[in-house]
Amino acid sequence: MARIIDISQPVGTLTAVWPGDQPFEVGWTMRRADGHSVNVAALTMSVHTGTHVDGPFHFEDDGGRPAELDLEAFIGPALVIDAVGVEELSENVLDGVDIGLAGRILFRTREHVDASTFPSPFAAISPALAHRLGRAGIRLVGTDAPSVDPVDSKSLDAHRILAANGVAILENLVLAGVAAGHYTLVALPLRLVDADSSPVRAVLLDGSIS
């Protein structure tokens, strides 16, 4: 069987969120300790908490919601590219890399990921790289950063360019310790009909599936 590599951030009360966003909170509508037959948790959280898909409605008022996303983009061959140490994900990160059959590109930019700390700074995707990935027919772009655009961006150029080319966006991955190379990605968004984006449980399959 293929080895399963979990590349999702743990989600809990210590998980860092985008500055100003809703922190993760958990309450209980039923507790066995209070005499109920079951424990039932109720969550309050941003859909951008931890590893998540950015849906087009996140940055375009007429963009698609998570329930409308093409699921084929989130399952299939993926190439992890080691870009640790770069200040920006520019076209140079593709030098010497054959992305022709990759389908999905995941950028590893950090040696370690601490889900309880918001990274500052982080490596965003340049508009030129976003255009190049779109022209190459890439279905999905993922990053271990909290955004494909800089933290202070108002225009969200990379988001818009990728979306305009039909490229799905996956953020806040955990790729520390994952070697560069080819894998199978599974990272399905929830079927949320009203939200802009969706949390995912993202995994890589290393090896053949039996």
Amino acid code (one letter) for 31: R
- CA–CA distance, 14 with 24 (Å, rounded to integer): 8
Q: What are the beta bridge partners of residue 127?
A: none
58 catalytically annotated: yes
Contacts of 29 by beta carbon, 8 Å cutoff, 6+ apart: 40, 41, 42
Active-site residue, from 48, 52, 58, 159: 58
Cα–Cα distance measured from residue 188 to residue 75, given in angstroms and rounded to the nearest whole number: 7
Residue of 181, 172, 179, 173 whose CA lies nearest to 77: 181
Give the orientation angle of helix 157-164 with respect to helix 127-135, to 10 degrees. Answer: 10
Own/partner long-range contacts of 55-58 (Cβ < 8 Å, ≥24 apart): 55/189, 55/195, 55/196, 55/197, 55/198, 56/163, 57/195, 57/196, 57/197, 58/159, 58/196, 58/197
Tell me the catalytic residues. 58
